[in-house]
Amino acid sequence: MRVTAASDSGERRVPCPTCQRPAVYGARNPWRPFCSERCRSADLGAWASERFRVPAEAPTDDDNAPPAH
């Protein structure tokens, strides 16, 4: 996570993963690391609709075989 400059109050700010605007990364921001509830919901929607995916290898026939004794 890339950290941007601290604000005048000393709060750490990071780019919002959705819109890239600076977001407070601390207890004061209930949506951290996002800047708002809207950006947090947009990210959740992207995962739910499978626009974001974690790469994985397809199972092989050996994966379905019963364990050898």
40-50: per-residue pLDDT in tens?
999 999 989 98
| The model's pTM | 0.63
pLDDT on residue 2: 55
Q: Where along the chain do its domains lie?
A: 1-51
**CATH code assigned to 1-51:** 3.30.50.10
| CA dist list (Å): 28 to 6, 24, 33 | 14, 8, 11
Residue 17's identity, in one-letter code, is P
Higher-pLDDT residue of 55, 63: 55
